[in-house]
Structure 1
Amino acid sequence: MSPLSTTVPLFSIQPTFLDVIADVRSGTTNKDSFYISSFIKDKSVHGTVDVYRSGSEVVLRGHDGFNVELGNHKLTLNVSCPELDVSNVLIKSPSSQIAVYSPKVIETFDISPQGELYVVGGPNGELSISSITDNGAFSRTLEGHLTYVTKAMFFPSGQVVLSAGGDMQIKLWSAADGSNPRTFIGHKRAVTDLAMIGRGRNILSASKDGTVKLWECGSGTLIYSFTNPLDSPLEPRAMAVSKRYDGISASSLSPLEFETDDKLLTIGYDNGDIAIYSLSTKNMLASIPSKSADSDISNIDVVDDRIFVARGEKSEIWDLRSLTVPLETISLPSPVVGIGASGVNSVAFATQIGTPVVFADHKVSYYAAGFDDSTVIGVKNRSLTGGGIYFAGKNGSIKRY
């Protein structure tokens, strides 16, 4: 069976388009307009949409190649662009949003599993935790990183945060009081990614020094360092932990390991190679070599037996049980900077340019409007638990869809 190949267009739409519609609807102005663009591969179309009243109804009229209508829900648009063969796509506005006050520039973020808190890290070591509701009434500043924060994430409990940065440090934080009970030292270059095993008694850190390290949280002990099996200077850029698809369980090698018996570790390297390990035995079980010279992996996610890999402007879905060819390749006209899967065929993409896109069952589900170009830095997908999908902008905004 040949792999599926899907080319996905992207959109850029005026972030305030809902305000334009609201002003016309309320009678603040009789007529206004907003801009909209779409691009796919090396083709693009740029246009405007007039908004005006006709009796009691608000009417939208697209120009320069666009057909635009209000969706059934007041926060959505239905858009077509015949020139790019784009028909009746859904563009959504956020259902809610958070204005982040510190740091002003976001490099990394996470949403707690319970959906109550968020954590953000900045370019100068800034790190803070705040409540999503109550206008951030609960807030903690976490001081300790010396330079840019590369990753921040919640433990499953939502009460503890793990962070890492360019200062080679990995830090454990209490969300309740902001204390830093543990700092993990051992990497020789910047830490690029973090991952958690089960409830978080063990954690993993990837670094530009070429290693992925396995730690025990209670004591801060370094248990094991995974190195590139080809012994070449590759940097691990992204990783994910998942349950073994084959049901095999093997006892761990150390009494300091917890919940590793039935887990896999998937690592993506800067040259596009992927290595898959047994976390308990530390043996490499499979690999997916890169077939392109320009295929730096930016993100990896794993759901059940599916691996979601972002390589530049292409994202691939692989089946762990058969790693000969990807099940599907999704091509976007802008590099992917964030990926979050919620099912075996459902994934959200944040791209360098254009609105984020949610892709499900081999087609676009909707586009997430509300961001200026070149601002989105990542995505957290909480759809499986009913929390929605969150995208963060570098300019200090987090939006939920």
Structure 2
Amino acid sequence: MAASRVILQSDFNSALRDKDGKAWISYKCQGKDSIHSYLKTTELSESRIPYVSSSDGFSVQSVSERRIDINFENDGESLRRTFIAPAMTFSSIHKERKSVHCMDVTLGGLGVSSDSEGRLKVWESGSGDVRRDLEGHFGDVYTCQFFPSGIVILTGGADMQLKIWSAETGQCAATLRGHKAGILETAIVDRGRNIVSCARDGTSRLWDCSTQQCLVTVETEGGNVNCCTLQATPPDYDLGTQSHTPGEQEVGTAGKLLLLGCERGYLQGYGLQTRQKVFELDCHDAVNCCRFVSETCVACGTQDGHITITDIRNIRMPLREWKETRNAILSILPYKGGFFTSTGDGSCFYVDQSQETVLELCGADCDPVYRAVSDGAAVYTACRDGLIRKYQSADIDQCLQL
């Protein structure tokens, strides 16, 4: 099923700020003619926030410095969308303007990001000031994230190595080797005694950080394992039969479900401690990202632009599956009951608990948005244009009425 979309010029907030400002807007839906129009500034208030008039079925419900609410009504179709501009744009973190492939932020005010030339940067999330470079990987770094402490960083990349870093000193404390191809994503078990990785060698591995040893290897037979995520399940959820006794190096794996998104189009679930495959969901195309959005609800996105929301208790009957973009789904960020989805066409939109799209984060002009992350106070996006954009949660939550 294809969803209708309202698309607004990415820099609408600056385009409409001046007198006689203009920003393009479009309605698109598969199987219907697209409708293109403009929003035009007709007068300026004393606060220099523009009042906007429109036509062709579009109407502006409200507008502020970084937000605009649009209604579209035409031929029986009625849509409402909110568009939010970034509060800050960081251009000096990756000065060479190389694609920012991965990113994470912590409650302690730090961010970490990697670009298309393998540079790893630690920076202040409030100002974007770079504090240090992390040097030690060879080639691209595909994944970076903070441990729950907020002062330790886990990375993995094309060199088939996982590295654990001190965010305070920039020193590499440990290197974990064992994958036979590039590492694409990681997940941290509880506070981080154990971690999980997935890679282009078709495997996912459970590691002990203290000894740098691989404790178990899961062979998926699904091609590249593009993504992974973990979640504690309800007590009555069947994770398979335990056939071994975990060693003392394995900590916190009981009751955890490991999700793996595979290149061959499958979302697979495994009991992390039982090592048993619990389910396999056919998603029709390569699964690029997957995340739990609640204890039992999972969202995943595919290379052909589909989003699937399903309940792990009834995996074969998805709650909803639809296509809202003409490009790949690249990341999913759980956020206050719903989730943000970033895509290969520059979109980053929010899907609420009713599985409806209600708002979009603007700024990227058709460049892929590779990752969206949050520290609770703001949402950050990493883009091919080399920029990291910061959106205030207060702006978002006001729209969501949270």
TM over 0.5, yes or no? yes
TM-score, normalisation: structure 1: 0.86
1:189-268 pair list within 5 angstroms: 189-228=181-220, 232=221, 234-247=223-236, 253-268=246-261
Give yes or no for contact 2:51–2:63 (8 Å, CA) kept in 1.
no
Alignment match, 2:330:
337
Residue 125 of structure 1: SS of its match in structure 2?
coil
Give yes or no for contact 1:66–1:79 (8 Å, CA) kept in 2.
no
Distance 1:86 1:139 in 2: 48
Matched, 1:304 2:295: yes
What letter is aligned with 1:389?
A: V
Distance 1:111 1:315 in 2: 23
Shift of 1:80: 3.0
Give yes or no for contact 1:193–1:205 (8 Å, CA) kept in 2.
yes
Q: Deviations over 1:9-50 (max 9, x none)?
A: 3444333322233333xxxxxx22122233232553332222
1:25-174 pair list within 5 angstroms: 31-41=20-30, 43=32, 44-53=34-43, 58-63=50-55, 65=56, 67-69=58-60, 71=62, 73-83=64-74, 85-102=77-94, 104-114=97-107, 116-136=109-129, 139-174=131-166
Shift of 1:343: 5.0
Distance 2:121 2:45 in 1: 49
Shift of 1:395: 1.5
What letter is aligned with 1:300?
A: C
| Greater Cα shift, 35-44 or 324-333 | 35-44
Alignment match, 1:367:
360
Distance of aligned partners of 1:348 and 1:115 in 2 relative to their CA distance in 1, 3 Å threshold: farther
- Size of the alignment, in residue pairs? 378
Give yes or no for contact 1:123–1:148 (8 Å, CA) kept in 2.
yes
1:250-289 pair list within 5 angstroms: 253-289=246-282
What letter is aligned with 2:274?
A: T
TM-score, normalisation: structure 2: 0.86
Distance 2:153 2:90 in 1: 19
Alignment match, 1:314:
306
Matched, 1:376 2:376: no
Shift of 1:299: 0.2
Distance of aligned partners of 1:223 and 1:351 in 2 relative to their CA distance in 1, 3 Å threshold: same
Give yes or no for contact 1:109–1:118 (8 Å, CA) kept in 2.
no
Shift of 1:349: 0.9
Distance 2:44 2:202 in 1: 63
Distance 1:347 1:365 in 2: 11
Distance 2:380 2:322 in 1: 21
What letter is aligned with 2:377?
A: G
Give yes or no for contact 2:100–2:386 (8 Å, CA) kept in 1.
no
